[in-house]
Chain A
Amino acid sequence: AQSVTQLDSQVPVFEEAPVELRCNYSSSVSVYLFWYVQYPNQGLQLLLKYLSGSTLVKGINGFEAEFNKSQTSFHLRKPSVHISDTAEYFCAVRNTGFQKLVFGTGTRLLVSP
């Protein structure tokens, strides 16, 4: 079975500063990794995904993530955040043979002026 750990429940940051949201996973089989964003009172939107190939994945809104197999991590980064990036971010994992997603508990990104 897979599991996902997002250690930071909340990350406060000032506008235009860089940010990293941490995600670690555990799995005994090959996995696909995802980051979703949820704006207040809305559904989940896919930010980016890692399926295979290059370990650096670029997504929408200037976000990127790096898959590190040895450290079983998939941290999300943005070099300069905007107020509009304030949202909750979920890391998720699924094994390559099945469609069920396992989610982390989420990290709330709070961007202030």
Chain B
Amino acid sequence: NAGVTQTPKFQVLKTGQSMTLQCAQDMNHEYMSWYRQDPGMGLRLIHYSVGAGITDQGEVPNGYNVSRSTTEDFPLRLLSAAPSQTSVYFCASSSAGADSGNTIYFGEGSWLTVV
């Protein structure tokens, strides 16, 4: 009953450091995506994937990389962390199947602070 699992839950980085936020889902979902949540701005899409080996940019992709080598995993990489990337990050997944109910499932979030 895991659903969408994100790690780490909390992380503090220094400016210029790199790190990877991990996301895994066990529902065999084709679609996966990363959002960031900032006060007063709701959630904004960073990158998304419609299947293994296929990724594309969302609304705010700069400073982030993704890859999708397996259906289950969709890691988000910060190449050189900046204070502007201090945010809460959410991974999400959903099924393309007609009986999916079109529900998008979210992970618990990763709180990232860049100092």
- Using a CB–CB distance below 8 Å, which chain A residues touch chain B? 4, 6, 9, 32, 34, 36, 42-46, 49, 51, 90, 92, 94, 99-106
Contacts and interface: CB of A to CB of B under 8 A. Distances in A.
B13 to A, nearest CB: 19
Nearest to A101: B104
What 8 A-B pairs have minimum CB-CB distances, sorted nearest first? A103-B42, A43-B108, A44-B106, A103-B43, A105-B42, A99-B31, A43-B106, A43-B109
Interface in B84-99: 90, 92, 94, 96
B103 interface: yes
B61 interface: no
A44 B50 contact: no
Nearest to A43: B108
B48 A99 contact: yes
Interface in B58-111: 58, 90, 92, 94, 96, 101-109
Given A43-B107, A43-B108, A100-B33, A49 B102 contact: yes
A99 B109 contact: no
B50 A99 contact: yes
Contacts of A49: 101-103
B40 interface: yes
Most buried by A among B40, B41, B42, B109: B42
Contacts of A36: 106
A42 B109 contact: yes
A92 B113 CA distance: 26
A12 to B, nearest CB: 18
Nearest to A32: B102
A6 B42 CA distance: 10
Contacts of A104: 42
A82 B83 CA distance: 37
B48 A100 contact: yes
